[in-house]
Amino acid sequence: MEDIFMDWLYVLMPISGVTIFWPGLVILGVGVGIIGGFFGMGGAWMVTPGLNILGFPMAFAIGTDIAHMAGKSLISTMRHGKFGNVDYKLGLIMLVGTVVGFEVGAQMIMWLERLGNVEMVVRLLYLVLLGLIAWMVFSDVSKKMRKDREARARGQEIDKLSTGIEWHKTLHKIKIPPMITLEVAGITCTAWLPIGISFFTGWLAGILGIGGGLIRMPALLYLLGCPTHVAVGTDLFEVMISGLYGAFTYTMKGRTELMAAVIMLIGAAVGAQIGTVATKYIKGYGIRIAFGLAVVGCALSIILKLLAKEIPTYKALLNNSSTVLVLGLVSAMSLYITVKMIQGARAEVAAKKK
């Protein structure tokens, strides 16, 4: 009797042949949808441990994640596009550099693997990079706060467009033709700047074997000087195209479970809307701080995974801690973003009624 009652909560995956608790997939979809729509990234580092917990075979986890990521990013891009947060011209230019850079990075890592085991080096490199990104974000936030404090002390009005780190201003002085104007981002610079940045971030993503949203987003902010919302929207546009391509190649290799991706998309459709609409109510620097915290969480989970490899006695404990940390972070951030979105929406609806 109990079995019959519970059976409807499980669905058989036609390709992998495993039975999965489908409400878990929906909840996972909602969580990563919210975070992806809010930060402008695919969020594979959050999805894979979640799919693992639900009993998904690793062979299918990555392909399924990418398939759902493409659909989710499309939903978020549609919404960000309507808010005017997507610079399509920038997205297309950056796609060139990303694809070439990724290929160079992927080939390079394959060459290095033939020379010896580079897994540990790659993981350490990833950690250093995450540390650098977190440092950039928080030092930017602290500089911006100092500027605001100084302006207040002088009795001046706070400049809403001021930023903490201003490396982009130096980079914008490079005038190598062709020069381009990115209307949505409000930037005029040499075309080589976005191409170079995307090549570099793509190369890093290729070496590290990651999607790259986590690297591209701060690069758009600090090196190109994109406003936060445009960086989020444009990055999602790139994730959408690369995700579709990735879904195709992984499916060709027989590694995608579309049924699971579709179930996750049901949750992600709602989550992506919440995350994207929340960017309406949370200021750019609020997004940056939350992004910095997500980077710290990702770095901690990698440290735990590394420790699990080094200390076999506590392997299970450390691996489980890493999963709990990632899923806890996803839950906490999703909750924060949802609460902010609801508060903002309530205020907006109340203002309209007045």
- Which residues are within 8 A (CB) of 315 and not within 5 positions of it... i.e. 6 or more apart? 308, 309
Segment contacting other proteins (CB under 8 A): 42-50, 129-137, 302-310, 332-340?
42-50
The residue among 119 and 150 lying less far from other proteins, judged by its C-beta, is: 119
**By CB under 8 A, what part of segment 335-354 binds other proteins?**
345, 348-349, 352
Count of residues binding other proteins (CB under 8 A)?
95
By C-alpha distance, which of 276, 325, 334, 308 is closest to 50? 325
Check binding of 79 to other proteins (CB under 8 A): yes
Minimum distance, C-beta of residue 293 to other proteins, in the bound complex (Å): 19
Task: Select the residue interacting with other proteins from 24, 36, 227, 297 (CB under 8 A).
Answer: 227
CB-based contact 122:109 (threshold 8 Å): yes
DSSP 107-147: HHHHHHHHHS--HHHHHHHHHHHHHHHHHHHHHHHHHHHHH
Check binding of 45 to other proteins (CB under 8 A): yes
The residue with tokens 């999607």 is: 211
Residue 19's beta-bridge partner residues?
A: 12
Task: Select the residue interacting with other proteins from 250, 319, 329, 334 (CB under 8 A).
Answer: 250
Segment contacting other proteins (CB under 8 A): 245-253, 297-305, 307-315, 324-332?
245-253
Count how many residues are written for the chain.
354
To the nearest 10°, the Cα dihedral for 45, 49, 54, 59? 80
Task: Select the residue interacting with other proteins from 256, 319, 322, 334 (CB under 8 A).
Answer: 256
Minimum distance, C-beta of residue 44 to other proteins, in the bound complex (Å): 3
Minimum distance, C-beta of residue 313 to other proteins, in the bound complex (Å): 26
Segment contacting other proteins (CB under 8 A): 130-138, 240-248, 289-297, 322-330?
240-248
Check binding of 265 to other proteins (CB under 8 A): yes
Minimum distance, C-beta of residue 24 to other proteins, in the bound complex (Å): 18
* 181 to 210: interface string for other proteins, x by CB under 8 A: ----------x----------x--x---xx
Angle at 337 between CA 354 and CA 26, to 5 degrees: 115
Minimum distance, C-beta of residue 206 to other proteins, in the bound complex (Å): 8
CB-based contact 247:70 (threshold 8 Å): yes
The residue among 167 and 314 lying less far from other proteins, judged by its C-beta, is: 167
Check binding of 31 to other proteins (CB under 8 A): no
The residue among 307 and 342 lying less far from other proteins, judged by its C-beta, is: 342
By C-alpha distance, which of 231, 220, 225 is closest to 163? 225
Rounded CA gap, 262 and 109, in Å? 33
Segment contacting other proteins (CB under 8 A): 38-46, 147-155, 291-299, 313-321?
38-46
**By CB under 8 A, what part of segment 112-151 binds other proteins?**
none
Check binding of 279 to other proteins (CB under 8 A): yes
Alpha-carbon Rg for the chain, nearest whole angstrom, is: 21
Task: Select the residue interacting with other proteins from 190, 198, 234, 242 (CB under 8 A).
Answer: 242
To the nearest 10°, the Cα dihedral for 45, 43, 30, 16? -60
The residue among 160 and 313 lying less far from other proteins, judged by its C-beta, is: 160
Tokens read off for 296:
């710290």
By C-alpha distance, which of 42, 1, 38 is closest to 261? 42
